[in-house]
Structure 1
Amino acid sequence: MATTKEDIWKAADELEIAGQAPTLAAVRKALGGGSFTTISEAMKEWRAKRVRESQPPPLVLPESMVEASRQWLAEVWKEAKQAAHNEVESERAALDEVRREMETSTREATELADQMQQEIEALTADHDRLQEELAQARARIAEMDKEASAQAQKLATARERVTDLEKHLEGSVSRTTKLERENAAQRQRLEDAAGQNDELKRQLEAAQQRERSALEQAAELKGKLALLVEQKAASSSKRTRRQNRE
């Protein structure tokens, strides 16, 4: 909620009652903050009001003097001149008081400006520190992005290699021994990469599973091939014996 003129006047009255000078800085501190411009304008009105309240009421000539005899006119005129003089002096004193108040306001404004400058410098220091931390964080993020790109490239290479291995395993049983050596080397590379990235580790485990399946299929194909060879050999042997009998 915005600070009102009445809030500022109340704070100034309370400071004065407590025996403290109601300076702009003191009023601002009592309010817990606020605009310097708003406080300064309100305090000008407050000081002018105090000056008016301290002045005597304007001179009003009593009716008896107006009705007095002419012989007292000179004396009345003298008293009126003296009263006017006193009023002029009172106005001059009031102007001096206003001038002193303005000087006080200027001094207080300078003090408040110094205080606000210190706050601004503290905020600037915090801003610079945060900017430095932000720059360090951005540099770290860039480094992590670079590392992630390298890991992604390694993962893509590993995936391509695993795909090639799977195709070779499916396409030719005669290449099983070679594929086993390549798969062993590939598993070692994938295991090394797994220590750097959890995602790459999961991909490695999936590749290993596919490799085991491929090896099992290769072993199964080798068994079937051996069985076919045995069957073919047995069939050839039978055919030879039959031809010999004939």
Structure 2
Amino acid sequence: MARSGVRYEEVQKAIHQLLQRGETPGVQKIREVLGTGSFTTLSEHLRQWKIEREENRDAPPAQDLPEPLQALTQELWRQAQEAARQGLNHYREEAEQRVEEAQNSAQESRRLAEDAAQRESAMSDHLAKLQTRLDEKSTALAQSQAQLDASHTQLENATTKIARLEEQFAQLQKKSAAEATEYRDALDEQARQYDARLAQEEQRHETAEAKLMTLLDDARRERQEQEKQHAKRQAQLDKRAEGLEKSLQEQRAALAEEEKRHRETRWELNRLQDDAREMTVKLEQRDSLLAERENELTQIRERLGKAEERLSQASFPPFVY
């Protein structure tokens, strides 16, 4: 069981050992080095060590080293500070050069802003023209849609009329078939009656055979005439149905042509809408670029103002002629 009461000096030595081994100090690793200590106590000592390290960051690292090594360490630390000061001077010179470059960049940004304003004006005119063309295409599309709706209405009326005619044709066919059946039944009945009468007449008198044959011939001619009339009516109905079918095909072809023109008009409208959206995206990108340029120009002006303020506050040696 781990004991409590580990001192800060013990934790500090364990941290130095971990640093010399190239390891990052942590509560678990410190506990492994010491072999004891609660996580709460070790965590508090580690936090205190980090605070002291932050406060003494600019001081040379304190380690248990021999005096020659400590002197060498201090000399190296001094040289590092001197190199840091020289680097700071270099950064100051570089900052002044960047201020000059920023001024040049500001002038270039102003020129770009003027060019962008001119391009914006031209783009606005072009966008207005595109909007006018879009309105014209929208009007043409509305007219085409109205014509298409009218064509659809005509097609629906024609379809209804054809359906009604087909129904009438079916009724006529049904009626004609019924009449034909009835007529054939009547002929069959009449033939049976004639045959019966013929049999009776043959039995009664052989001289009546000629008269009966005449009656049968008349009946056959009448039947043939009725069949011819029925065939004629059937041909008229077929011709009328063919004419209706041809008219329906013509109306369907006209509707297909109208739908083709409608698709072409819609395609042209979609293309113009895509052009308008692309133009809008380009304008938004240009506005974003102008905003970035304006922000950069504002930052450059602020840095210039701060640089001028520092220059005004700086003391210069007297000028000697």
Instruction: Tell me the TM-score normalized by structure 2.
Output: 0.37
Whose relative contact order is higher, 1 or 2, with alpha carbons under 8 Å and at least 6 apart?
Answer: 2
TM-score by length of 1: 0.45
Higher radius of gyration, 1 or 2? 2
